[in-house]
Structure 1
Amino acid sequence: MNEISTIPGNAPQNADAAELPQNVEAEQQLLGAILASNDVLDRVDDLVKPEHFYDPVHADIFALAAKRITDGLQTDATTLKNFMADHDGLKALGGAEYLLRLQLSAIATSAARDYAQLIHDLAIRRALIDLGKTIADNASAMREHSAPDDQIVEAEAQLFQLAATGSAARGFQSFLRALTDAVDIANAAYNRGGGLAGISTGLVDLDKNLGGLHDSDLLILAGRPSMGKTSLATNIAFNVAKAYKRGAKPDGSEGVIAGGAVGFFSLEMSAAQLAQRVLSEAAEVPSELIRKGDLNEQEFQRYLRAAQELESCPLFIDDTPALPISQVAARARRLKRSKTGLDLLIVDYLQLLRGSGRNENRVNEISEITQGLKAIAKELNIPVIALSQLSRQVEQREDKRPQLSDLRESGSIEQDADVVMFVYRGEYYREREKPGEENLEAMAKWQQDMENLHGKAEVIIGKQRHGPVGTVELSFDGRFTRFGNLVKPWQQDSQGF
């Protein structure tokens, strides 16, 4: 086997080139394996790209070889030499003879994947070094338009982008592998006891329709003011955080086995106001009495006990107003990296977020925001619930139940969301239609309607990418701003109500 010497002077030209992590011999062996057997490319192209090669000549050889093989053309030292005859870098190494030495000195193709992994890892290390220098240079340069907070956000985004590179593409998989994944999902649902593969919202009928909250999904929860969308989001956040439990997963690894850690971006209400809502529900003390301080001794003690019980609840609130979507992503990443982690993210509400500032058109800005929220869900592999306002056209219809066209800037929101849900309380609208006392028949009808609607709410699932649409009925207790499971008439009989 002919020896191939390392190539001096052919690395990227900078003062620190000699110190950069690299392995030119591994690059030579991988290229030789590809030239000797074109099938090798299929096993490594998810790991290695031209930019991962330390030697720029090797990068050019790989790029040309990959293009020809992808086009279905036989590729070896003989076929490549004509296309690289004028390449100055290759000439310096011996031209066509160097290509032939690469091919003849290739090791067993079975080791190609290992060399590809090494080349990829070394490229990531070089990128980290380069990023570190860039961060240091930017921090040293006092530029008016570059605030330190913006530099941190940009650096975090680049680090996460680096972390995401080189993940093996799945491509085709055997039916056996697909069957195994399907059984694992069913097993997870079985072990949860509630038939769910996702995180339980704590609301049985909603869980049945959604199958729980699924990782990487963007769920839009929309409604007109006073419908209770913030209350429902708060209830879900509380239910998920309260059920948080770690333990051994079915595969033997340690992790979250119930509930989850929740991050809540409250752009409209303060953290204290949001916590007050959670405590009102947990202690069953009316929120208006808490605000007024009009509590008796029993209610106050119940309030304090609830506060003590919730101290360890993994619910984290960020009430910074008018956050740009880039900051939401950065802060979510930090929480995900923390010891507790992040299993569910809630944003109240998306119209109060800001885009990058490059879009003067509000529709385009909302599109950027919803795309950013979906990207967070996929990147962190968590469900994201974003609340949204509805347009006033709902109020102009006789039937006030919302529909997809009522979403503000509905095109982008509807398109990017995996699930769109609407909160609707008929009691709120019917209450405002009270007839005059003199109209006895109308008054009797109104009272009957109010009795039927009292304490009830609907969650209308207008879009669900992986399931059915429909309406879920919930109970609603305005005193504690609490949504709950609605007891059906046939359940009342069986439970002795």
Structure 2
Amino acid sequence: METIKLNKLINSQKKPVIQPMYGKIPPQNKEAESAVLSQLINGSGRLIEVMEILKSGECFYLDAHQRIYDAILTMNGKGQKVDLVGVTTELSNSGNLELIGGGYFLTKLSDKTVFDHTILSHAEDILECYKRRESIKVAGELMALSYENGESLNDIVHAADQELIRIISEGDISEAKPIRDLIIPFMENLQAAKENKKDITGVNTGYSWLNDKTGGWQNTDLIILAARPSVGKTAFALNLALNATVGEDPVPVAIFSLEMGADQLMKRVVSALSLIELEKITKGQLSDIETSHIDQTLNIIASKNIHIDETFGVSITQLRARAKRLKRKHNIGLLIIDYLQLMAGETKGGNREQEISKISRGLKGIAKELDIPVIALSQMSRDVEKRSDKEPMLSDLRESGAIEQDADIVMFIHHPKDAESGQIKNVIKIAKHRNGSLGDMEECKFFGNIQKWMNPSEANAYMGRNTTFKPFAGMPTSSPDERIEGKKMQAFDDAPF
């Protein structure tokens, strides 16, 4: 669903100065505006710093101040020196000199006595007032659209949310840090790592090989999980979500499912945890023992701190806003998106490769902003099918090369045939690892009938090679699967849940 545009708030290039509402004057600081412009006209050497805060003349309240500041920006873009004569000439050439009150107004403005060291604080005051005016506009449009029946309330709120995020981020400046300031945090992290007696320093993956390679999913990392359709990537992502909620350091998980509805995901979760085949659950073809088993499984699922958002076509702006709310409300420690190519672009009819690039950069930004790992599922191009070995490569990531650049880890799922035995192998390949080594995980087995990836001992037990099996703490003592029904069950050290 396309995000609606909030009338003049997004569409108009030049937004009119808003009128007083309910007898109140809109937030503004005309003295600060005059002070900043006076200093710039008189050759302040801090124009670049001011430009980082005030992106355009639109930040100013008075129309004359807007035109003057835009003229200064134009001169800077041309590499011209900013002074009274130059600004006057620029305004005259653009037809704006008379509109601001003529040369007299400009001369009077430049005659103000101000101190150069105050210019940045004045600029920040101007920006704050601008943000408040913009917020009032959004509130007014939100109120007006809410009275109408033309758009759904969800679309209206999402569009308002998008605008508010834009307003808040306006003028944000990321200060460069001296490297010496990083020494103490580094030593603190190093000491914490030395004192940590556990092999896992991040979010538990649930799989021994992956934990060894990664130390668990690390905060601020963007992990791409790519595969061709119907090879088990959604099942693997769900297994990762479940694994993250158990163990010594469980974390709440958020899943944005753009492909499947929440009810479909629920069936897969129940199948993976209960070991009852998905087809049986979908058709309702369950024995009394299996029905009882599912009841017990549902009690365990109820304790899982997992949140599912099934909104289709969510944009990166909407995803960011929702993820921030989930972080604030539930303190999520892992975010999963299924899948990246189904996310909507911010502009209609835009270049899809550029949109995917913006989305992948946005996902990395969310990981850094929320300080959590983000796992994004991705499709692969058909090129992998054209190669004889069908071995996936980074270039197979669909629609954008920016995905592999933004990602900290890129993993592929594929099922090659063993050259000697002819059996199909379940391989998870780490093709990129910014902070670690690469490799293939072949030990785990994927059982599509129950949507479950298993560590070796689990898989052996499930296939009936061992006499005991229990996939997670709290599992009912009787098995629903006919192949191991009646056998005693016992937990394994490498069981993911």
Report the CA distance shift for 1:192/1:28 in structure 2 as closer, same or farther (over 3 A): farther
Aligned to 1:124: 131
Q: Does structure 1 conserve the Cα–Cα contact (< 8 Å) formed by 2:203 and 2:244?
A: yes
Rounded Cα–Cα distance in structure 2 between residues aligned with 1:402 and 1:207: 22
Q: Which residue of 1 aligns with 2:7?
A: none
Post-superposition offset of 1:416: 6.2
Displacement, 1:265? 0.5
Partner of 1:267: 259
Deviation per residue, 1:127-159 (Å, 9 max, x gap): 11122223334445555xx55443333222112
CA contact 1:216–1:374 (8 Å) conserved in 2: no
Amino acid at match of 2:36: L
Q: Does 1:22 align with 2:28?
A: yes
- Give how far 1:462 is off: 2.7
Check whether the contact 1:23–1:119 (CA below 8 A) recurs between aligned residues.
yes
Q: 1:214 to 1:154 in 2, by over 3 A?
A: farther
Deviation at 1:232, TM superposition (A): 1.0
How far apart are 1:21 and its partner, in Å?
A: 0.7
Structure-1 residue corresponding to 2:472 = none
- Once residues 77 and 390 of structure 1 are traced to their aligned partners in structure 2, the CA distance between those partners, rounded to angstroms, is 58
- Residue 436 (structure 1) aligns with: none
Counterparts of 1:345 and 1:39 in 2: how far apart (Å)? 45
Residues in 2 aligned to 1:25 and 1:129: alpha-carbon distance in whole angstroms: 22
Residues 1:98 and 2:103 are matched in the alignment = no
User: CA, structure 1 residues 39+343, in 2 after alignment: closer, same or farther (shift >3 Å)?
Assistant: farther
AA aligned to 1:420 is V
Look up the match of 2:231.
227
Q: Distance in 2 between matches of 1:153 and 1:213?
A: 30
SS where residue 412 of structure 2 aligns?
strand
Describe how 1:350-361 pairs up with structure 2 within 5 A.
350=340, 358-359=348-349
Shift in alpha-carbon separation, 1:37–1:193, aligned structure 2, 3 A: farther
Confirm or deny that 1:386 pairs with 2:371: no
Could you tell me which residue of structure 2 aligns to residue 344 of structure 1? 334
Separation in structure 2 between the aligned mates of residue 288 and residue 271 of structure 1, nearest angstrom: 17
Deviation, 1:161, is: 1.3
Matched AA of 1:135: L
How far is 1:53 from its partner?
1.3
Q: Distance in 2 between matches of 1:204 and 1:110?
A: 58
The 5-angstrom pairing of residues 271-310 of structure 1 reads: 271-283=262-274, 294=286, 297=289, 303-310=294-301
Q: How far 1:211 moved relative to its partner?
A: 5.7
Aligned length: 431
**Given the superposition, is the C-alpha separation of residues 262 and 132 from structure 1 closer, same or farther in structure 2, using an over 3 Å criterion?**
same
> Could you state the TM-score of these two structures normalised by the residue count of structure 1?
0.69
**Number of the residue aligned with 1:492:** none
Measured after TM superposition, the shift of residue 87 of structure 1 is: 1.8
**Would you say the 8 A contact 2:88–2:97 is kept in 1?**
no
Contact 1:241 1:262 in 2 (8 A): no
Instruction: Say which structure is richer in helix.
Output: 1
Deviations, residues 177-210 of structure 1 (Å, cap 9, x unaligned): 3445655665676687657775443334324545
Which deviates the most, 460-469 or 127-136? 460-469
**Structure 1 residues 91 and 132: alpha-carbon distance in aligned structure 2, compared to 1, 3 A threshold:** same
1:457 is matched with which residue: 423, 426, 430? 426
1:98 corresponds to which letter in structure 2?
Answer: K
2:355 is aligned to 368
Cα distance change on mapping 1:199 and 1:411 into 2, 3 Å: same
Indicate how the Cα distance of structure 1 residues 19 and 219 shifts in structure 2: closer, same or farther if over 3 A, else same: same
1:55 Cα shift?
Answer: 2.0
Q: After TM superposition, give the deviation of residue 306 of structure 1 in Å.
A: 4.0
Distance 2:397 2:366 in 1: 26
1:402 maps to 2:408? no
The AA in structure 1 aligned to 2:324 is K
Distance 1:113 1:484, change over 3 A: farther
- Change over 3 Å in CA distance of 1:185–1:471 after alignment to 2: farther
What CA distance in whole angstroms lies between the structure 1 residues aligned with 2:378 and 2:120? 47
Residue 169 of structure 2 aligns to which amino acid in structure 1?
Answer: A
- AA matched with 1:311: A
Structure 1, residues 387-446: CA drift from partner, whole Å, max 9, x if none? 3444566556553433345455465755665543211234xx45xx9xxxxxxxxxxx63
8 Å CA contact 1:287, 1:480 repeated in 2: yes
| Cα displacement (A) at 1:118 | 1.6
CA-CA distance at 1:311 after TM superposition: 1.7
Change (3 A) 1:243 1:317: farther
In 2, Cα distance between equivalents of 1:224 and 1:81 = 62
Does residue 46 in structure 1 map to residue 16 in structure 2?
A: no
Q: Is the 8 A contact 1:190 1:196 kept in 2?
A: no
User: What is the alpha-carbon root mean square deviation over aligned residues?
Assistant: 4.3
- Give the superposition deviation at 1:20: 0.8
Aligned counterpart for 1:113 among listed residues 120, 132, 143: 120
User: Alpha carbons of 1:76 and 1:350: their partners in 2 closer, same or farther (altered >3 Å)?
Assistant: closer
Residue of structure 1 in register with 2:157 after alignment = 152
Q: Deviations over 1:215-268 (max 9, x none)?
A: 6655332224553212211111112244696xxxxxxxxxxxx63432230523
- Partner of residue 164, structure 1: 169
1:364-391 CA distance string (max 9 Å, x none): 5476356435424425735443334445
> Are the counterparts in 1 of residues 271 and 450 from structure 2 also a CA contact under 8 Å?
yes
Residues in 2 aligned to 1:163 and 1:195: alpha-carbon distance in whole angstroms: 40
Structure 1 residues 410 and 135 mapped into 2: Cα distance closer, same or farther (>3 Å)? closer
TM-score (norm 2): 0.69
Are the aligned partners of 2:258 and 2:337 in contact in 1 as well (CA < 8 Å)? yes
With over 3 angstroms needed to count, the CA separation of the structure-2 counterparts of 1:163 and 1:209, relative to structure 1, is farther
Report the Cα distance in structure 1 between the residues aligned to 2:396 and 2:332, rounded to whole angstroms: 31
Give me the whole-angstrom Cα distance separating, in 1, the residues matched to 2:207 and 2:392. Answer: 21
Please list every run of 5 or more consecutive structure 2 residues that lacks an aligned counterpart in the other structure.
1-14, 458-492
Q: CA deviation at 1:43?
A: 4.5
Partners of 2:296 and 2:196 in 1: CA distance: 29
Give the whole-Å Cα distance in 1 for the aligned partners of 2:110 and 2:400: 60
Q: Does 2:143 align with 1:136?
A: yes
Given candidates 323, 330, 333, the residue that maps to 2:318 is 330
Distance 1:60 1:369 in 2: 36
Alignment of 1:176-195 (within 5 A): 176-180=180-184, 182-183=186-187, 186=190
Any gaps of 5 or more consecutive residues in structure 1?
1-10, 246-257, 434-444, 488-494
Look up the equivalent residue of 1:99 and give its one-letter code. Answer: L
